[in-house]
Structure 1
Amino acid sequence: MHTPLSAVVVNPAKVPDLDSLRRTITDSLTAAGWPAPLWLETTVDDPGAGQATAAVRAGAEIVLVCGGDGTVMACVTALAGTGVAMAVLPAGTGNLLAANLGLTGDVAVGLDVVLQGGRRLIDVGVTGDQSFAVMAGMGFDASMLDATNATAKRHIGWLAYIGGAARHLRGRPMRVRITLDDRPPFDRRARSVIVGNVGRLQGGMRLLHDARPDDGLLDIAILSPRTLWHWATLGWGLLLRRRSVPRVEILTAARIDIRSTRVQPRQLDGDLIAPGNQLLITVRPNALLLCVPQPATDPDLAHDIDAVPHTAATSDREPARS
């Protein structure tokens, strides 16, 4: 029986008891007959990419990532295209990829996912030298993340984002020119443009109902509320999981170029990146091998990231549309 070499990339700032976590992970893996994992801690200067790369060079077949959104995104960037599987052991307060996998902060649940053997190849989005697995955005969504209180996040989790959102509801719209693939560009006055590989936001709300993680396409949501009433109807539509939500335009493409007339806040997978007036995103099909629950019991989860053992699921999605 093959017992894969594994590595743990952990952000020590996100873990209250590092020694206990290490014992839990090591005991679970060795009890299953696996070798003790390599243990690699992130630093302020390197949030995970260097550690994940070192794990690959050491021969790891699975990298277990324990940290917040920044740690996970750094490891996605490093592991995409390597064939090395990535597992998410949620830490911190609002890990978007963990939410789309249906994982809580329970490390034991995450380890069970690893040991069950569910694997799936998914696409990743690429902007510059960074990759993301869930969503990228420019405008209101990034402003909300920036305004969310870190202490509140630790105590009440994703609900803290409501406070961050409230601070920016009356903000100015941005004038953007959007180009999708080789189609003619078009202009919008938007509050936010979100590009997603899967569809769930924090709190389980679904923004992109048709998003598939393995179809070689990314879905784009253009949010254009102008008043508090617009925001209220938009939020209510998301809470009710309606497929058509007022003031939200949904498009699909493999290459997305978003250009604003002024510098805007930007985010990748829930982690802020440097502000800019452009967000150019391409898709890298079937680039990341991900450990996923097997079988998926949540119908919404089955729609987004359904477990397919050691292979990539095929897609019957239609080509890019506008």
Structure 2
Amino acid sequence: MSVWLPVAPCTPAGCARHTGAVRAPLPAALLLLSGCTLVLLGVACVPLVRLLGPAPRRRLIRRWAHAVPRAFGVRVTVRRHAVDHPSGDAPGGELVVANHISWLDIPLVASVLPGRMVAKSEIRRWPLLGPLAALGGTLFIDRERLRALPAAVRTIATALRSGSRVVVFPEGSTWCGRGGGGAFRPAAFQAAIDVGATVRPVRVAYRTAAHHDGPAAGAVAFVGSDPLAASLWRVVRAAGLTAHIDVLAPIPADGENGRRALADRARTAVLNTEKPCRCCQTAVASDRANRPAESVHH
């Protein structure tokens, strides 16, 4: 792995812990079965969904993505702040950027703003899921080599220029959700600037019934070397989980002085008001001080 890639300090043992009410094993197992069945059904239907027109395809994807968290026992609330397209169907050329806590973030964002996801190139080589992700319009980029950065920017810019909505998690890694998380990497924002696209910040947060105004729900944090199976079981065992999605006001890409300023403004919009956990607070400060300069050539 390249040393310049972002790595969160969050660990399963230190961050991914649930301290609230839990479900009994049998109800949790039924939720796990229903959630996995719905996900696999969606994956299997990708080739057929691709045959639909853009509008019905977006509606179907949104409904499926809306159902996935609920199938795993997670309630969802959505708030829209000064959104210029109340239906969520912006005409295109929109870069959606969100903080990254869990695998749940993907269907949650897709349920309100479906678009072409940006993923690391290794996923394309995964059995079954790789080809299906490609059929679903995923944009694969090489995150391992700094030299590949200009090509990644061009890939995103081409999609935006065609009118697509592109969804990026610019922290580059999952964080535990307590506080602001990681710095937003500016590469995708350069693509938005190049084509004059709108940047749409989205805030993702998780709470439990007992701590709806307190710390984030650690059960959903999918960080470090946490196995997916362990994360799935932790989510279905945790009772009273609620995901909060805030679709924030759009930011014109040409309204800032360069990609770093645009990335910082989007991150500021996404930041919540919680005090970051100590590991995240230290890591963000270190990342800003030590991250290498990014060179983007056109």
Instruction: Pick the structure with more helix per residue.
Output: 2
**TM-score, normalised with respect to structure 1:** 0.28
User: More relative contact order in 1 or in 2 (CA 8 Å, sep 6+)?
Assistant: 2
